[in-house]
Chains A and B, each alone.
Chain A
Amino acid sequence: DAKTTQPNSMESNEEEPVHLPCNHSTISGTDYIHWYRQLPSQGPEYVIHGLTSNVNNRMASLAIAEDRKSSTLILHRATLRDAAVYYCILRDVRGNQFYFGTGTSLTVIP
């Protein structure tokens, strides 16, 4: 599976936008870009996913570079409840693999 690289940690002030980057330079044409987050003492939860076009949902936006070698998860207004570890994952739709990297630990400062 293609690997992803994320910063270990980031900080944001409450109610400000947060841009969480992910590099995936070895992405293949059939890999979807998924983002999950894990709140403290909980299981990971789905945030958003996309293939080529930018995506928006009620939780976040996903901006995908034109060459697909990087993507950015955007939280439009960070809240304290958004403090979590955010994982960027590549998943080939043909396979069942779902490998997590080390993720980015987001701290939201009140």
Chain B
Amino acid sequence: DTAVSQTPKYLVTQMGNDKSIKCEQNLGHDTMYWYKQDSKKFLKIMFSYNNKELIINETVPNRFSPKSPDKAHLNLHINSLELGDSAVYFCASSQDLGVPTGNTIYFGEGSWLTVV
């Protein structure tokens, strides 16, 4: 069973379109994240949700809107896609509450977004 699954794995779309990437985790974790990895392979955190509440919102254009319908899901919606949005987007989750020993984070396999 895949612990953190995200769909689609590959997405090619035109500039100006709106698209969503879905993420689900079956680990019972209370925190979920979206990371962006650009062409230089730098992994940058975009958002973090804890129990459906937004707790980290890095400097990300407001065209990016995360939505967490429940604590097992964190979807990423992107409006008016631009060429610079082309990247790999990783969803991740971790258990933060009641974990005193330094919790680990589990990543999905990534969604390769190409904007043309």
**Chain B interface residue count: which class?**
20 to 34
Q: Judging by beta carbons under 8 Å apart, are A99 and B45 in contact?
A: yes
Q: Which residues of A are in contact with B by a Cβ distance under 8 Å?
A: 32, 34, 36, 38, 41-46, 49-51, 85, 87, 91, 93, 96-100, 102
Closest to A92 in B: B102
Q: List 16 A-B contacts (CB under 8 A).
A: A32-B102, A36-B105, A43-B108, A43-B109, A44-B43, A45-B107, A46-B104, A46-B105, A87-B43, A91-B102, A93-B100, A93-B101, A96-B96, A97-B48, A97-B56, A98-B94
Q: Judging by beta carbons under 8 Å apart, are B104 and A44 in contact?
A: no
Closest to B112 in A: A41
Which B residues between 97 and 116 are near A, CB-CB below 8 angstroms?
99-110
- Inter-chain contacts of B92 with A (CB < 8 A): 43, 98
Partner of A46, one of B43, B45, B106: B106
- Inter-chain contacts of A87 with B (CB < 8 A): 43
- Inter-chain contacts of B90 with A (CB < 8 A): 43-44
Closest to A50 in B: B102
Closest to A96 in B: B48
Which B residues between 66 and 114 are near A, CB-CB below 8 angstroms?
90, 92, 94, 96, 99-110
- Inter-chain contacts of A97 with B (CB < 8 A): 45, 48, 56
